[in-house]
């Protein structure tokens, strides 16, 4: 007998049992919900990691042997994190190289990179409405594979929650200022590759933001990262640390 809204099924008994099949019924909408969840879990389990490299431990050993460099356990763990995950978020102060790192990882790992400044600005540095910007960012993090660089703390909690791997470039104020000045001198008045129609510039507002970053914005970033599982966060305090780590990834990908 079929009762609308009710799902019935049977469960075979284990071998050796003599009793007949055990019947049970439950609301059909519960069955549908469980079915959808099961399909999604199966899809996640079968999802292909586009960049995963097999035999990573062996390749790392070969790198150490051929380069006469011994990787620390932290470095090996970081490399394994990158190899196993599809979703990466990069945050840090201005001039720390977030955009450059995102593009390098994108090229190495074959995962598209999104630079949040390119979402926030139209040509000639025209900002889009905050609500529209945040909506675009949150739509992006629903995708299966991505690398995102930028702060924009309004959407940071959601991005950190969704990310498989978080890279925080936590550099000193001196390093931030140096990075910004070097970038400005090198590219002044040239169009930024990641921001079509926007030329490299520096003004008082940005200078103030750069100088006060660690006192203001860093606190918000740290509060959010402290809520993120430690096993998926990598923090770099110096450019040399990052460059060494990145070089190892490039060697591993070859």
- With a cut of 80, say whether residue 204 has pLDDT above it: yes
Mean pLDDT rounded to a whole number for the chain = 77
Question: pTM value?
Answer: 0.65
Weakest-pLDDT range from 28-37, 52-61, 67-76, 106-115: 28-37
More confident residue, 15 or 129: 129
Q: Which two tokens stand for residue 120?
A: 């926030």
Measure the CA–CA gap between 108 and 207, rounded to whole angstroms.
33
What tens digit of pLDDT does each residue of 81-131 get?
666 655 677 888 888 888 888 888 888 777 888 999 999 999 999 999 999
Supply the pLDDT for residue 199.
94
Supply the pLDDT for residue 222.
94
Supply the pLDDT for residue 108.
74
- With a cut of 80, say whether residue 180 has pLDDT above it: yes
- With a cut of 80, say whether residue 11 has pLDDT above it: no
Weakest-pLDDT range from 18-22, 26-30, 117-121: 18-22
More confident residue, 127 or 253: 127
Weakest-pLDDT range from 60-74, 95-109, 155-169, 200-214: 60-74
- With a cut of 70, say whether residue 25 has pLDDT above it: no
Q: What is the 3-state secondary structure (H, E, C) of the chain?
A: CCCCCEEEEEECCCCCCCCCCEEEEEEHHHHHHHHHHHHHHHHHHHCCCCCCCCCHHHHHHHHHHHHCCCCCHHHHHHHHHHHHCCEEEEEECCCCCHHHHHHHHHHHHCCCEEEHHHHHEEHHHEECCHHHHHHHHHHHCCCCCEEEECCCCCCHHHHHHHCCEEEEECCCHHHHHHHHHHHHHHHECCEECCEEEEEECCCHHHHHHHHCCCCCHHHHHHHHHCCCCHHHEEEECCHHHHHHHHHHHHHHHC
Evaluate whether 177 touches 141 at the Cβ level (below 8 Å).
no
């Amino acid at each position: 007998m079929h009762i609308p809204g009710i799902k019935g099924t049977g469960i075979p008994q284990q071998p050796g049992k003599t009793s007949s099949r055990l019947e049970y019924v439950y609301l059909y909408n519960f069955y549908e919900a469980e079915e959808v969840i099961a399909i999604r879990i199966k899809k996640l389990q079968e999802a292909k990691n586009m960049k995963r490299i097999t035999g990573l431990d062996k390749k790392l050993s070969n790198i150490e042997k051929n380069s006469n460099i011994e990787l620390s356990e932290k470095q090996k763990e970081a490399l394994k994190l990158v190899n196993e995950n599809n979703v990466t978020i990069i945050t840090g102060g201005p001039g720390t190289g977030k955009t450059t790192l995102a593009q390098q990882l994108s090229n190495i790992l074959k995962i598209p990179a999104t630079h949040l400044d390119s979402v926030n600005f139209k040509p000639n540095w025209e900002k889009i409405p905050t609500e529209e910007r945040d909506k675009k960012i949150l739509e992006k993090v629903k995708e299966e594979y991505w690398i995102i660089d930028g702060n924009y703390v309004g959407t940071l909690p959601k991005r950190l929650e969704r990310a498989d791997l978080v890279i925080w470039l936590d550099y000193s104020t001196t390093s931030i200022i140096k990075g910004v000045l070097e970038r400005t001198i090198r590219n002044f008045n040239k169009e930024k590759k990641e921001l079509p129609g926007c030329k490299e510039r520096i003004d008082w507002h940005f200078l103030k933001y750069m100088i006060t970053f660690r006192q203001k914005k860093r606190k918000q970033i740290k509060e959010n990262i402290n809520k993120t599982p430690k096993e998926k966060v990598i923090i770099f305090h110096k450019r040399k640390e990052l460059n060494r780590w990145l070089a190892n990834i490039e060697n591993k990908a070859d």
